[in-house]
Structure 1
Amino acid sequence: MSNLLRTSRVLAWFILTGLSVAVIVASSFYLYLRPNLPDVDQLLDVKLQTPLRVYSKDNRLIAEFGEKRRAPVTIEQIPTIQLQAFMAAEDSRFYDHFGVDIKGLVRAAIELISTGEIQSGGSTITMQVAKNYFLSRDRTFIRKFNEILLALQIERELNKEQIFELYLNKIYLGNRAYGIAAAAQVYYDKPVNELSLAQMAMLAGLPKAPSAYNPLANPERALIRRDWILGRMKDLGYISEEAWALAKDAPITASYNTRETEVNADYLAEMARAEMVRRFGEETYTDGYSVTLTVDSEKQQAATEALQAGLEDYDRRHGFRGAIGQIDVSDLSGDEISRQLLNYPQVESLVPAVVTRIDDEAGEVHAQLRRLGTGIIGFDTMTWAKRYRTENLTGPEPKKPSDVVSVGDVIYTKILELPQVTELPEANDDQPDPEDAGAGTLKAALAQAPKVEGALISLTAKTGAIEALAGGYSFSQSKYNRATQAQRQPGSTFKPFLYLAALENGRTPATLYNDAPIVFDDSELEDTWRPQNSSGQFYGPTTLREGLYRSRNLVSIRLLRDLGIQTTLDYLRQLKVPTNNMPSNLSLSLGSGLLTPMELARAFAVIANGGYDVQPYLIERIEESDGTVVYEAPETILCDSNCDQLAENENATDIQTDELPDTEGMALPASADEPEGPRVMRRLADERSVYILHSIMQDVIRRGTGRRALALERSDLAGKTGTTNEQKDTWFAGFNHDMATTVWVGFDQPAPLGRAEYGASTALPVWLDYMKVALKDAPAATMDRPNGLASIRINPQTGERARPGEDGVFELFKEEDVPAPLSADDNGSGLNGESEGLSRQIF
């Protein structure tokens, strides 16, 4: 008995000593680690890493930037049964313990002693919050001890609901999904409150091992894990026997879902992203900003499609350049062919395919399409494919499919008709489709990825808001934004600004200039210059109105010589048209300077709105993740007089820049210290001069080079085509009083487009397709006729008042520029009196 008592005492002493040592060691660790532990109060104001999202003004998703998909939710938004599923999987005693589960820790300690590492973790939900928000993922004793200490602190500072909410928003659930809401969207394309019991249990099984129990990557293991959680929920009394049985029999319904972008606006998205990073730094990608742009989704989609269609049409007109590659299909299986096709990326809607068989008799080409199985290309879609030789020359028209392609050729196709069982793949999807075979036979057309490029910019004329922008054929192929970065010669689209300068300097639409040959031997031009009209003909004395709407080059040259180059450049600066890349010689009159499409579009917006300064802007509003608005675009006020006083009274931003600001940074004010309130935009041109120019540019569409625009059947449109030497740049800029849209087409490395190509044949069709949508159901928007104008009947041959009984036309004049009445002895020669000045201008 005494031996037993002695043994008991010894054992008790060892236990007490062991506990004392454990307490001392634990206290030592605590004292050592406590100063380095993070402040738990940070959790009260935690910022979850949430991606930047960019939306159109009608709330359509344009883009999402950030590595982590997350959509924070409150615990009230999560169904109770979903909370119970996570408790069954991770911590069934969550509401009972104080942040640490002793049983779990003992189990983890035994694993550490026996295996040298911790396998099961023993972590409560609170401990996982500590780990996910503050600690590394290393499986070490020190990290585990820190985790315990932090969990105890968290339980003291926060209630259980706050802890659970933090957990469910932070936990990683695979496939870049962080948090329960993001996972519900990624795996089931549903909000959390619409998930079934089986789906809830499946998601609850992911935190333990997001890859091993992933229903997409490892469906069998995921199913075992789901069913185990359902059993735990039944045993814990969370669900009934009947609910358990139904959920256990449910199949796996998970699929990979990303939040689809709803608008094709990659160039705009990149502009917004760059502006946000400039403004907010790298936090742009993690702080959950929502950026609303000025663009309308329908107009933006129309802009993208119109530009792509126009570039494809040009490309087809100039012939087929042949296969983009070769695959020897003779000894390859369908799967091997599919894998080789992955080396050829999809470009927008153009799908790579390899020719597997040609049937000339049936007029069909059989092909295997990238990720879409087999398809048939009808010869009726191939008749355009004359062989390309030069920009001016193509081969003969093909008579049969084998004239165009050969077996093994890799070509681009456009899908015409898809079997219902097949979905068109996303562009740039690098994964082979395991269901290629059996996808069905589809119908496709022969296509070709254009080498030619272009840009379209559409602005709200009175504010500068960007309504739509397309910076090229395909952002995935080239991120170079031609709308804002391409410095190109505007050609004849520059002429309206020269003519506006003339109207502001005493000339009238009736002023005559001679459309006749002229030769310049100017050292600045490096060679003898013999300018011509595009027609190669000359038409003699011509009014300014006809000279502009018929785009007569010699009229423009003589006009510039008469006005003076410096006077013209000064006036361009007054209009805030950039002049740093403008020549100081007469070639300026033909648009030989350099402007970006955005700069030109902005200048035409000034004409469209009646002569007021506007600056393009893209970002309408920025919100933080909680909905707090941190930026909203100010109202624009168009000002005619007393602008300084107006700016002061309205606490407004007075825009007085000399030239157009950097279009890459156009979205936000440069400094947060700039005054809030409306932006005051000053008048840059006499509204009478602008109104007269409107009427001349309307003639461009009614009877000049822009006649194709008559197809819109609108009376409020004005515009100007443009084509540079050797057809290297082609343009159309058109507008009404509300909207100004400019289109450019050309090669990135300037090269001739072809002798038959002009602004009217390349850029105008793009503009037309876009404006059909942009102006749909929009009422006519015309500039009101200002005071101080007179309509006078003139003789267009002389530019003077028409004599009684003489054929004439009505012309607009400023009151101070009205032609003098004819004298009684005037013989109508046009060379007497007032016309003496005109004769000097003619010659």
Structure 2
Amino acid sequence: MRKFILAFLVVVLIVMLGVTYVLKQFQQTADLSYSKLQSVQSTVVYDKNDRKIDELYKTVPRQNVSSNEIPEYVKMAFVATEDRRFYKHFGIDLQGIGRALFKNIVTMSKAEGASTITQQLARNLYLSSDKTIKRKVDEMFLSLGLERQFTKDQILELYLNQIYFGSGVYGIGAASQIYFNKPVSDLTVGEAALLAGLPKAPSTYSPSNSTEKATARRNVVLKLMHDQNVISDTQYQQALNERVVEPSIPVKKPNSNQAFIDYVIKEAAQQYGVSADDLYKGGYAIYTDLDPNLQESINNSVANHTFRDDAINSKVEVGISAVNPKTGGISAMYGGRSYERNGLNRATSGYQLGSAIKPLAVYGPALETGDYTPTSLLSDERQDFGGGYSPKNAEGEYQKHVTMREALTRSLNVPAVWLLKQIGIDTSAKFMEKAGLPLEDDDKSKLGLALGGTTTTFSPLQLAQGYTTFANKGVMTKPYAIRKIEMRDGEVKKPDIQTERVMSEENADTMTSMLQDVIEKSYGTGVNARSSRDAAGKTGTTNDVKDAWFVGYTDDAVVSIHAGFDNANSTQTTKYLSGGGGQDPATLFSSIMNNW
């Protein structure tokens, strides 16, 4: 009896779980109205003022069309090709599944699928493209929900506005324009058949890739339409004689914020599970903290700057990241003077930091020990720190002792290495990790860390993150690009803002005071960064001037700038710069601040 009761309870539990699962899938479809789905447009990206800065599409934006704008033979071309029993099944075609299964067994391969138009719509609206059993089950139940909620005509309209037609085009409205330069209502039978043949393999059958394959596939569709009495003998013959012409596919021009847009797309995938393909399908709204004025100032400052090291075959490249230190929102991003869509983003690429690392690796942690202040005297005598390591000051001048403030302002090397040895590399590494710049193990035993001579490389974005520690009263704020994203179903997701107390507010203010001297003192290495705004900052230059840095900040923005050649290496000194961080990067910072 006990076994019977236990078995009964297990069955009840399974049934309850099954019912809960089915209701959940039905609820997903119930949450979306026809009018909302009908109005789905390209994904839009907004700036901090909620103003549109870009629409995400590859060639042309989506152009949703209503059912009454689509000729009947166009609709039936898709029905005949993709789902001949569309008007007879309830979302799942059991007969079609059986037929496909039989053919697959006979051919010993997956020769035929059995997804209905409703299932394809469910997949496009709700699911990823993962080929798993769970996704297939989800797809089936969601299809049942769609059939319960919408009419066949509504489902077909939504489907035609959602599917991918190749060449970066989603929806039949955009496809008609891109391939035939006409609205859907003017499509010929042959053109309708060509479009209906694309969903199976858009790249393979696109006329932009092969007019021969596109023609062959179109003819297959025409035969299906003829065999199913969708078109007459005359229409069939006329359509077969239509010539398929290779279309001229426009390429969307890069946005002036393109590096930032590409970063947003990557973050959507990494943080919210929304792939680039999903975004290009449309229906999402992405809100960012991009400051359009700051971004424009950066763009113009770089464009108008004269880089004296530019050569005929190579030019100095620049990567810039700007972060709001209070929120962590990325305010601006510049991927390079020759940045291309989805190309090398120099704002997020890693480089050695040079002396820009000193506040994070040496002076910040030294202040936190409580043993050192800006007036503390540091050794500035040429000396061997062990193992033959004897760094030089850039100007070749030395004093017996120098204050911490002056050592930082002049960016002297010997005092920085000496101080790192006093506080210990472990103390430095822990401070840097808390500030968001973790070191590789190889760098945790070398005093060269004080000068940025590390195996670990850091991007302008990472350096900006580290300096939020000083700009935000001792609290590091991790950068993010997306402040909220509205999903297709209306759900709103926001980032989990990550902060960490790295140093005391008092010590952070002290650091800011010293870094202000870097800019304001006549002997400061960052004197070229002076602007109409009160700012603090630090220069950075690596060996032989392979990399040049300036990272500066105000209360509202940390701006991190790297300059250098893409193809610089240790055997080609001609690909190095003639001036360090106090030259191009500092001058750019000044221009950015003045024009912001």
TM class, shorter-length: 0.5 to 0.7
Q: Which amino acid aligns with 1:586?
A: L
Cα deviation per residue 1:31-78 (whole Å; 9 max; x = unaligned)? xxxxxxxxxx99998999x9984624232116447xx97747474xx7
Query: Aligned pair 1:499/2:499, yes or no?
Result: no
Contact 2:526–2:538 (CA<8 Å) still a contact in 1?
A: yes
Instruction: Say if 1:268 and 1:493 are closer, same or farther in 2 by CA, change over 3 A.
Output: farther
Name the CA distance, whole Å, in 1 between partners of 2:520 and 2:170: 59
- Percent of aligned pairs with the same amino acid: 26
| SS of corresponding position for 1:529 | coil
Q: CA deviation at 1:209?
A: 4.0
Is the 1:454–1:743 Cα contact (8 Å) retained in structure 2? yes
What CA distance in whole angstroms lies between the structure 1 residues aligned with 2:362 and 2:351? 19
Partner of 1:692: 510
- Asked if the contact 1:127–1:147 (Cα under 8 Å) also holds between the matched residues in 2, the reply is no
Give the match's secondary structure for 2:419.
helix
Letter in 2 for 1:692: T
1:268–1:772 distance in 2 versus 1, CA, 3 Å: farther
Alpha-carbon contact 2:409-2:515 (below 8 Å) kept: yes
- For residues 448 and 177 of structure 2, the distance between their equivalents in structure 1, rounded to whole angstroms, comes to 59
How far apart are residue 727 of structure 1 and its match?
Answer: 1.5
Following TM superposition, by how much is the alpha carbon of 1:709 offset from its aligned partner in structure 2, in angstroms? Answer: 2.0
* TM-score scaled by length of structure 1: 0.46
Change in Cα spacing, 1:127 to 1:545, as seen in structure 2 (3 Å) is same
Cα separation, 2, equivalents of 1:757 and 1:461: 29
Residue of structure 1 equivalent to 2:19: none
1:455-478 per-position Cα deviation (integer Å, ceiling 9, x unaligned)? 211111012111122344444498
C-alpha separation between the residues in 2 aligned to 1:472 and 1:625? 33
Corresponding residue of 1:6: none
Partner of 2:45: 55
Q: Give the corresponding residue for 2:447.
A: 586
Q: 1:758 aligns with which of 559, 563, 580?
A: 580
Instruction: Write the letter of the residue equivalent to 1:276.
Output: A
- Residue 265 of structure 1 is aligned with which of 258, 264, 279? 258
Which residue pairs with 1:600 in the alignment? Answer: 463
Aligned twin of 1:530: 390
Cα–Cα, structure 1 residues 185 and 629, in superposed 2: closer, same or farther, change >3 Å? farther
- How many angstroms apart in 1 are the aligned matches of 2:329 and 2:115? 52
User: Residue 760 of structure 1 aligns to a residue in which SS?
Assistant: coil
What corresponds to 2:561 in structure 1? 743
Contact 1:61 1:263 in 2 (8 A): no
Question: Does the Cα contact within 8 Å between 1:459 and 1:602 map onto a contact in 2?
Answer: yes
| Alpha carbons of structure 1 residues 697 and 315: separation in structure 2 relative to 1, 3 Å | same
Establish whether residue 701 from structure 1 lines up as the match of residue 510 from structure 2.
Answer: no
* Letter of the structure 2 residue corresponding to residue 273 of structure 1: K
Distance between the aligned counterparts of 1:567 and 1:769, measured in 2? 36
Give 1:576 deviation, angstroms. 4.7
One-letter amino acid of the structure 2 residue matched with residue 55 of structure 1: V
Provide, for residues 711-740 of structure 1, a one-character-per-residue CA deviation record: whole Å limited to 9, x for no partner. Answer: x222x2111111122222211010011210
User: Which residue does 1:169 correspond to in 2?
Assistant: 161
Matched ranges for 1:652-671 at <5 A: 655=498
Superposed displacement of residue 744, structure 1: 1.6
Q: Does 1:609 align with 2:427?
A: no
Question: What are the Cα deviations for residues 169-226 of structure 1, in whole angstroms up to 9, with x where unaligned?
Answer: 258888664435434775899xxxxxxxx856435764244599x99999xxxxxxxx
Select which of 558, 564, 589 maps to 1:767.
589
Shift of 1:615: 1.1
1:596 counterpart SS class: coil
Select the residue among 413, 423, 433 that pairs with 1:553. Answer: 413
1:336 corresponds in structure 2 to none
| 1:292 corresponds to which of 287, 292, 295 | 287
The equivalent residue for 1:486 is 350
Q: What is the one-letter code of the residue matched to 2:463?
A: L
1:353-392 correspondence runs (5 A): none
Alignment root-mean-square deviation, CA:
5.2
User: 2 CA distance for matches of 1:156 and 1:722?
Assistant: 64
State the one-letter code of the partner of 2:543.
N
- In structure 2, list runs of 5 or more residues that go unmatched: 1-26, 98-102, 104-110, 119-143, 198-205, 212-246
- Paired residue type of 1:633: P
Correspondence 1:202 to 2:186: yes
Question: Which secondary structure does the structure 1 equivalent of 2:348 belong to?
Answer: helix
Please state whether the residue corresponding to 1:613 is helix, strand or coil: strand
CA distance in structure 2 between the aligned counterparts of 1:188 and 1:483, rounded to whole angstroms: 40
Match of 1:265, as an amino acid?
A: Q
Q: Is the 8 A contact 1:187 1:257 kept in 2?
A: no
Equivalent residues of 2:264, 2:482 under 8 A apart:
no
State the 1:552 CA deviation: 1.8
The 8 Å contact of residues 90 and 125 in structure 1, kept in 2 or not, is answered as no
Contact 2:319 2:336 in 1 (8 A): yes
| CA–CA separation in structure 1 for the residues paired with 2:409 and 2:117 | 81
2:380 paired residue number: 515
Give matches, 1:39-438, under 5 Å.
53=43, 55-57=45-47, 58-61=51-54, 63-64=56-57, 71=62, 73=64, 75=66, 82=69, 86-87=71-72, 159=151, 161-162=153-154, 165-166=157-158, 168-169=160-161, 177-183=169-175, 186=178, 201-203=185-187, 206-210=191-195, 262-266=255-259, 268-270=261-263, 272-273=265-266, 275-276=268-269, 279-280=272-273, 284-285=277-278, 288=282, 290=284, 291-300=286-295, 302-303=297-298, 306=301, 313-316=307-310, 319-320=311-312
Alignment-mate amino acid for residue 506 of structure 1: D
CA separation in 1, counterparts of 2:432 and 2:81?
A: 70
Question: In 1, are the aligned partners of 2:259 and 2:333 still within 8 Å (CA)?
Answer: no
Give the aligned length.
471
Shift of 1:705: 1.5
Post-superposition offset of 1:536: 1.7
Question: Which of 1 and 2 has higher RCO (CA within 8 Å, sep 6+)?
Answer: 2
Larger Rg: 1
**Letter of the 2:588 counterpart:** V
The alignment partner of 2:392 has SS state of coil
2:481 pairs with 1:629:
no
Q: Do the aligned partners of 1:186 and 1:258 also contact (CA within 8 Å) in 2?
A: no
Q: State the Cα distance separating 1:487 from its structure 2 match.
A: 4.3
Query: Does structure 2 conserve the Cα–Cα contact (< 8 Å) formed by 1:717 and 1:735?
Result: yes
Give the drift of 1:742: 0.8
2:325: which partner in 1? 461
1:731 pairs with one of 549, 569, 581: 549
For residues 409-442 of structure 1, give each alpha carbon's deviation from its aligned partner in whole angstroms, at most 9, with x where no partner exists.
Answer: xxxxxxxxxxxxxxxxxxxxxxxxxxxxxxxxxx
Deviation string 1:676-726 (CA, Å, 9 cap, x unpaired) is xxxxx343212111112211111111121111222x222x21111111222
Give yes or no for contact 2:356–2:538 (8 Å, CA) kept in 1: yes
For residues 638-691 of structure 1, what are the alpha-carbon distances to aligned partners after superposition, in whole Å with 9 as ceiling and x for unaligned?
Answer: xxxxxxxxxxxxxxxxx5xxxxxxxxxxxxxxxxxxxxxxxxx34321211111
Contact 1:533 1:553 in 2 (8 A): yes
Q: Does the Cα contact within 8 Å between 1:493 and 1:733 map onto a contact in 2?
A: no
Preserved CA contact (<8 Å) 2:291 2:331: yes
User: Which AA in structure 2 matches 1:701?
Assistant: I
- Counterpart residue type for residue 531 of structure 1: P
Gap runs ≥5 in structure 1: 1-40, 95-119, 137-141, 190-197, 219-253, 321-447, 637-654, 656-680, 777-843
1:563: how far off? 3.2
- Counterparts of 1:557 and 1:275, CA distance in 2: 41
